[in-house]
């Protein structure tokens, strides 16, 4: 082991290494990590303790980044005194976790005028509004900053948290207390509990001044105001946040102990009276044309604003309408983000690679001459499928126009045919899997070509295992793509249950480069905490084709436990009946039902599921309103309802614990029959099922 320099001069002179970790052995990595730990600790003391930094922020950041890269490559060498393990000096704060009282939802996006027209039409249909019924929406600039939740108790700010994953965020209360633009004590008479949500951002003038100051001191330059705001808020030293001049726009409500306004427009006015800054460009609109005019006006003013925006958000004004509309998956039905057109640029396609996903889908990816688009360097772009390649006639060597869809995902807009090389040839999509060589077929009516080898294809198996440990599935921290690939190559993890048997291989894991006592212990703890899992997460983690999170929850609510699901779909079962039962579940169609049955009938899949179930404890899904008259009942809707739309009626029934089916069977408890009810009502009568007219239905749900 190399000797760690002890003198201040020696510690201050250490720079970040450049050798690729892939070409380093454990001794080299351990030596460099020891040097980095000592040097970073020295500079932390100079910076935080003595307020006398010996190096620039940029050089310091390089040391920290190098330490992070080496620890990711050699997790077994993470030191007890590692900078990544250290909270910091007494002047710093750590970021605890905050569970949001109400989820901080994301927004669905719209990009065209037609998307906005469709959104408003969907809202009207859901609420059963006639053309003459007023539907007001609020149009607000979409601030390009960091989402923040502020909790007030008796008017006093008690907690501030970032959005995080929507359910859990970071506690940044100490830092927010340093932001002048956020009221610490509300004016007026706010509710006892009030959670105000909005966006923290940095003004462009302040951003430029910050970067000028950073540049003058050879410090870290920020790419854009949003990054600057996020970095400033997440400072371990809250005094740094104080000097960054952050600002805040309030725009929505979280938990609230009492109603303060019947509409969103009135709520914004109330926020102003409490002392919050509310965006003055917000407008109340009654027609789609007014929404689009506001969108254009805000877009035209975009360049002259003092802050960055990336679109306009439309929200249904009435709070009772918002409640009725509710949410789907992780986004509210009552709001939509209308994004501004993506920035475009030109570059050249150098190659087209084929990636094989967990369901066998062959996805073409364009390897591009790197180009900056919207402040981000782009070198890859998805081509979606072979139909997309053929439709746009995309070829290797083409000059293309690319954009970042929604300012995020790179995509190819069009080929510039005039720049095409004279020897250009049409791209030939492979007919065989590039990984395992099996036939790749494209079923009639589908756009995607798939490898037919299932999890016997190494690429599919690896992607399947990566999906299994991902955040929305089993969410096993510390077991990422790199570890899955390594353990799979060694033959230690070939099916998900093997993950829960890794504790038997701790001595073998310890022989691998990059694994030590601490990292192995942390990994084992992460695995053990996931031995108890909800049924919906368990189903989603299996990676069944077409079964996303929403469908997994629907299946979990319908079957309630894994045993019932496996009994319903089994080699010895009547799988025509199982298919019929699946199709009866609202939102499950015939093709999805076929994929679900195919998965559970495959012997290898069934053995895998049973094997996995033997290693974990599966808990039943949380059911809303267990004490309601609809809890556990199966309901079918037919005909036209007057007081609410079918979509709203279904959502209301599900919120009260009911299962909504699309067809009548002996398992149906109630048929709700609106006007013009047809064959379903006749079948319900034949089966002796209780038929409710709309008035009876409304009485049953206390409306």
Q: How many Å is the Cα radius of gyration of the chain?
A: 29
Q: State what percent of residues in the chain have pLDDT above 70.
A: 91
- Is the separation of the CB atoms in 169 and 149 below 8 Å? yes
Nearest to 399 by CA among 326, 344, 332: 344
Tokens at residue 244, please?
A: 């960054």
Helix H or strand E encompassing 465: helix 458-468
Among 142, 236, 650, 659, the active-site one is 142
d(CA 400, CA 423): 17
Helix H or strand E encompassing 139: strand 137-143
- What residues does each domain of the chain span? 8-77, 109-339, 344-427, 453-530, 534-619, 634-700
**What tens digit of pLDDT does each residue of 287-306 get?**
999 999 999 999 888 878 88
| Cβ-based neighbours of 630, under 8 Å, separated by 6 or more | 653, 656, 657, 658, 700, 701
Task: Give residue 110's region: left, alpha or beta (phi > 0; psi -120 to 50).
Answer: beta
Q: Which residues pair with 331 in a beta bridge?
A: 328
d(CA 596, CA 598): 6
Q: Considering the domain delimited by 344-427, tell me its CATH architecture.
A: Beta Barrel (2.40)
**CA dihedral for 352, 449, 479, 507, sign (positive or negative):** negative
d(CA 454, CA 114): 39
Mean pLDDT across the chain: 86
| CA-to-CA dists, residue 560 to 458, 552, 556, 587, 620, angstroms | 33, 11, 5, 17, 6
Angle at 308 between CA 303 and CA 309, to 5 degrees: 90
Q: What is the pLDDT of residue 409?
A: 67
Q: State what percent of residues in the chain have pLDDT above 90.
A: 47
Told to judge if 142 belongs to the known catalytic residues of this protein, a careful annotator would answer yes
Q: Which residues pair with 356 in a beta bridge?
A: 362
d(CA 311, CA 407): 10
Nearest to 556 by CA among 608, 596, 607, 602: 596
Buried residues in 385-414 as b, exposed as e (16+ CB within 10 A): bbeebeebebbeebbbebbbbebeebbbee
pLDDT band per the 50, 70, 90 thresholds, residue 684: confident
pLDDT band per the 50, 70, 90 thresholds, residue 444: confident
CATH topology of domain 534-619: DNA polymerase; domain 1 (1.10.150)
Q: Which residue has the higher pLDDT, 174 or 237?
A: 174
- Is the separation of the CB atoms in 436 and 459 below 8 Å? yes
| Residue where the block lists tokens 């942390």 | 522
Nearest to 435 by CA among 412, 461, 405: 461
Q: What is the pLDDT of residue 87?
A: 34
d(CA 334, CA 220): 40
| CA-to-CA dists, residue 565 to 454, 575, 616, 633, angstroms | 22, 12, 17, 18
Tokens at residue 181, please?
A: 């633009």
Reduced to 3 states (helix: H, G, I; strand: E, B; else coil), residue 177 is coil
Residue 52 has pLDDT above 70, yes or no: no
Q: Which residue has the higher pLDDT, 480 or 50?
A: 480
- Is the separation of the CB atoms in 178 and 225 below 8 Å? no
- Is the separation of the CB atoms in 203 and 225 below 8 Å? yes
Q: What is the pLDDT of residue 607?
A: 93
The two beta strands, 634-638 and 659-661, are parallel
Q: What is the pLDDT of residue 514?
A: 82
Q: What is the pLDDT of residue 6?
A: 59
Q: Considering the domain delimited by 109-339, tell me its CATH architecture.
A: 2-Layer Sandwich (3.30)
Residue 448 has pLDDT above 70, yes or no: yes
Q: What is the pLDDT of residue 90?
A: 31
Q: What is the pLDDT of residue 37?
A: 85
Residue 430 has pLDDT above 60, yes or no: yes
Task: Give residue 514's region: left, alpha or beta (phi > 0; psi -120 to 50).
Answer: left
Domain 453-530 CATH superfamily: 5' to 3' exonuclease, C-terminal subdomain (1.10.150.20)
The angle that helices 458-468 and 481-489 make with each other, rounded to 10 degrees, is 130
453-530 matches 534-619 in fold: yes
d(CA 179, CA 475): 34
Q: What is the pLDDT of residue 39?
A: 85
- Is the separation of the CB atoms in 241 and 179 below 8 Å? yes
- Is the separation of the CB atoms in 331 and 342 below 8 Å? no
- Is the separation of the CB atoms in 409 and 384 below 8 Å? no
Q: Tell me which of 23-27, 351-355, 378-382, 400-404 is least confident.
A: 23-27
Q: What is the pLDDT of residue 477?
A: 85
CB atoms within 10 A of CB 666: 7
Model's pTM, two decimal places?
0.53
Query: What are the two backbone dihedrals, phi and then psi, of residue 210, each rounded to the nearest 5 degrees?
Result: -60, -45
Q: What is the pLDDT of residue 235?
A: 82
Reduced to 3 states (helix: H, G, I; strand: E, B; else coil), residue 640 is strand
Helix, strand, coil % (nearest 5) of the chain? Answer: 40, 20, 40
Alpha helices in 218-356 (DSSP H): 225-233, 238-242, 264-274, 288-301, 319-325
d(CA 335, CA 104): 13
d(CA 74, CA 29): 8
Query: What are the two backbone dihedrals, phi and then psi, of residue 91, each rounded to the nearest 5 degrees?
Result: -80, -5
Nearest to 618 by CA among 533, 517, 558: 533
The class (CATH top level) of 8-77 is: mainly alpha
Q: What would the DSSP string read from start to end of 428-439? A: ---SB-TTT--B
Complete edge-to-edge strand list for the sheet that includes strand 109-110: 109-110, 335-339, 309-316, 137-143, 283-285
Alpha helices in 132-261 (DSSP H): 173-176, 204-216, 225-233, 238-242
d(CA 351, CA 506): 42
**What tens digit of pLDDT does each residue of 73-102 get?**
777 677 767 776 443 333 334 578 888 999
Domain 634-700 falls under CATH 3.40.50.10190: yes
| Cβ-based neighbours of 541, under 8 Å, separated by 6 or more | 467, 468, 473, 474, 496, 533
């Amino acid at each position: 082991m190399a000797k760690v320099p002890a003198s201040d001069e020696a510690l201050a002179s250490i720079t970040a290494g450049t050798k690729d970790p892939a070409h380093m052995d454990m001794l080299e990595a351990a030596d460099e990590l020891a040097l980095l730990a000592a040097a970073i600790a020295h500079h932390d003391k100079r910076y935080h303790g003595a307020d006398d930094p010996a190096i620039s922020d940029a050089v310091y950041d390089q040391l920290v980044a190098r330490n992070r890269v080496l620890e990711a490559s050699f997790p077994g060498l993470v030191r007890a005194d590692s900078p990544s393990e250290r909270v910091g000096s007494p002047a710093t704060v750590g970021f605890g976790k905050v569970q949001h009282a109400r989820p901080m939802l994301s927004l669905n996006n719209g990009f065209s005028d037609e998307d906005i027209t469709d959104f408003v039409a969907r809202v009207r249909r859901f609420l059963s509004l006639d053309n003459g019924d007023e539907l007001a929406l609020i149009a607000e600039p979409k601030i390009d900053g960091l989402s923040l939740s502020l909790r007030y108790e008796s008017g006093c700010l008690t907690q501030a948290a970032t959005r995080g994953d929507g359910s859990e965020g970071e506690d940044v209360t100490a830092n927010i207390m340093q932001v002048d633009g956020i009221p610490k004590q509300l004016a007026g008479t706010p509710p006892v509990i009030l959670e105000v949500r909005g966006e923290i951002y940095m003004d462009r003038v302040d951003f430029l001044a910050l970067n000028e100051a950073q540049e003058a001191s050879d410090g870290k330059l920020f790419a854009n105001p949003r990054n600057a705001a996020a970095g400033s808020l997440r400072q371990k030293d809250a005094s740094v946040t104080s000097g960054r001049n952050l600002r805040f726009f309030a725009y929505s409500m979280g938990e609230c102990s009492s109603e303060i306004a019947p509409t969103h427009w009135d709520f914004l006015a109330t926020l102003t009276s409490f002392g919050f800054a509310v965006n003055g460009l917000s407008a109340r609109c009654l027609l789609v044309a007014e929404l689009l005019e506001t969108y254009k006006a805000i877009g035209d003013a975009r360049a002259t604003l003092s802050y960055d925006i990336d679109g306009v958000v439309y929200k249904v004004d009435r709070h009772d309408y918002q409640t009725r509309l509710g949410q789907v998956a992780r986004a509210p039905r009552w709001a939509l983000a209308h994004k501004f057109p993506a920035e475009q640029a030109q570059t050249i396609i150098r190659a087209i690679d084929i990636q094989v996903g967990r369901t066998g889908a062959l996805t073409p990816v364009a390897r591009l001459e790197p180009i900056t688009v919207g402040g981000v360097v782009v070198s890859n772009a998805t081509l979606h499928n072979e139909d997309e390649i053929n439709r746009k006639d995309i070829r290797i060597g083409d000059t293309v126009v690319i954009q970042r869809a929604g300012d995020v995902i790179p995509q190819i807009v069009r080929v510039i045919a005039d720049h095409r090389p004279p020897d250009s040839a049409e791209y030939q999509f492979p007919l065989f899997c590039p990984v395992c060589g099996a036939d790749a077929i494209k079923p009639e009516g589908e756009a995607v070509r798939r490898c037919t080898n299932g999890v016997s294809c190494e690429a599919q198996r690896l992607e399947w295992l990566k999906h299994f440990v991902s955040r929305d599935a089993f969410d096993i921290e510390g077991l990422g793509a790199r570890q899955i690939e390594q353990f799979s190559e060694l033959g230690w993890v070939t099916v998900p249950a093997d993950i829960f048997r890794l504790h038997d291989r701790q001595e073998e894991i310890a022989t691998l480069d990059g694994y030590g006592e601490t990292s192995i212990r942390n990994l084992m703890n992460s695995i053990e905490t996931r031995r108890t899992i909800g049924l919906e997460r368990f189903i989603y983690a299996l990676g069944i084709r077409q079964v996303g999170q929403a469908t997994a929850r629907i299946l979990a609510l319908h079957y309630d436990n894994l045993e019932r699901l496996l009994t319903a779909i089994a080699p010895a079962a009547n799988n025509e009946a199982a298919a019929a039962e699946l199709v009866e579940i609202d939102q499950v169609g015939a093709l999805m039902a076929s994929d679900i049955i195919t998965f559970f009938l495959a012997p290898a899949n069934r053995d895998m599921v049973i094997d996995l179930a033997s290693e974990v404890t599966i808990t039943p899904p949380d059911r809303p309103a267990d004490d309601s008259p609809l809890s556990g009942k199966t309901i079918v809707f037919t005909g036209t309802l007057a007081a609410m739309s079918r979509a709203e009626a279904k959502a209301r029934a599900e919120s009260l614990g009911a299962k909504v089916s699309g067809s009548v069977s002996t398992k149906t408890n109630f048929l709700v029959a609106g006007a013009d009810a047809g064959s379903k009502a006749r079948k319900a009568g034949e089966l002796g099922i209780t038929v409710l007219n709309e008035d009876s239905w409304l009485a049953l749900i206390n409306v």
